[in-house]
Amino acid sequence: MSTHVTHWIGGRPHPGAADRRGDIHDPATGRVTGTVDLAGPEEAAAAVAAAHAAFPAWRDTSLSRRAAVLFRFRELVHAHSGELARLISAEHGKVVADAAGEVARGLEVVEFACGIPHLLKGGFSENVSSGVDAYSVLQPLGAVAGITPFNFPAMVPMWMFPVAIACGNTFVLKPSEKDPSASVRIAELWAEAGLPDGVFNVLHGDRAAVDALLADDRVRAVSFVGSTPIARRVYAAAAAAGKRVQALGGAKNHMLVLPDADLDLAADAAVSAGFGSAGERCMAVSAVVAVDSVADDLVERIRARVARLRVGPGDDDRSEMGPLVTREHRDRVAGYLDSGVREGAVLAVDGRDHPVPDGAPGGFWLGPSVLDRVTPAMACYRDEIFGPVLGLLRVPGFDAGLELINANPYGNGAAVFTGDGAAARRFRNEVEAGMVGVNVPIPVPMAYYSFGGWKQSLFGDSHVHGTEGVHFYTRTKAVTARWPDPRGAAVDRRAGAVRAGGVDLGFPVNG
Report, as residue numbers or ranges, the catalytic residues.
Answer: 282
SS3 string, 316-354, reads CCCCCECCCCCHHHHHHHHHHHHHHHHCCCEEEECHHHC
Which is it for strands 389-395 and 369-372: parallel, antiparallel or unpaired?
parallel
Beta-bridge mates of residue 424: none
- End-to-end alpha carbon distance in the chain: 75
SS3 string, 152-175, reads CCCHHHHHHHHHHHHCCCEEEEEC
Instruction: Pick left, alpha or beta for residue 143 (phi over 0 → left; psi -120 to 50 → alpha; otherwise beta).
Output: beta
Q: How many CB atoms lie within 10 A of CB 335?
A: 13
Q: Is 60 exposed, middle or buried (0-12, 13-18, 19+ CB in 10 A)?
A: exposed
Spatial separation of the C-alpha atoms in residues 11 and 57, rounded to whole Å:
15
The Cα-based distances of 168 to 153, 163, 239, 483 in angstroms read: 23, 9, 22, 29
Q: How many CB atoms lie within 10 A of CB 128?
A: 14
Spatial separation of the C-alpha atoms in residues 275 and 277, rounded to whole Å:
6
